[in-house]
Amino acid sequence: MFRRNWTGQVRLTRATILLMAGLGILNSCSQSKTESADSLGWNKKIAQTVIHAEAVSLGQLLKNITNKTEQIELIRMAIDSVRFYEDHSGYFYVYQYDCVNVAHATQKDLPGKNLYNHQDTHDKFVIRELSAAAANGGGFVEFYWLKPGTTGEKHKMGYVEPIPGTDYFIGTGVYLE
């Protein structure tokens, strides 16, 4: 029964996110008319806007759910089908601060795995750096990661924020190639 309630809450949350993201993007557009829609700056603003909206929304949805299994189920359901950017390369991922993956929208083999020691092709401890950025309130981290629909790791600028009231952080990124 609670799953049906979650679905309704997630739909409402998704509508809120889209509205907030649209407003944030429109505000960004009016503030910097010289930036093209294809620029890194524009895509970074989109990443910040959607992550902040999703983090706040998930924090609200999770605040009355104390069972960790139910929290994780709701998180996975909430992020699973969301895609953004023109090429649909935008997606969400969620980790615990100890670098255990909670949910990943495109790599279904990652949930439950501890990626504390994961290094990208340039020897960067990706999830450690993302966790540190989130623990400091949020921020951008450059790294290499698999891009959906391609082979090999691609250069990426990730953005993460804490999910309020939880031990989780959420992120997305902009592929730079």
* C-alpha distances out from residue 135 to 6, 38, 90, 123, 161, Å: 27, 30, 22, 22, 8
- Determine the residue type at 117: N
Q: What is the pTM of this model?
A: 0.82
Q: Which DSSP symbol is given to 147?
A: P
Range of the domain at 47: 2-175
138: left (phi over 0), alpha (psi -120 to 50) or beta: left
Q: Give residue-wise pLDDT tens across range 105-118.
A: 999 999 999 999 99
Give residue-wise pLDDT tens across range 119-162. Answer: 999 999 999 999 999 999 999 999 999 988 889 999 999 999 99
Domain CATH for 95: 3.30.450.20
Q: What's residue 13's pLDDT? A: 54
- How many domains does the chain divide into? 1
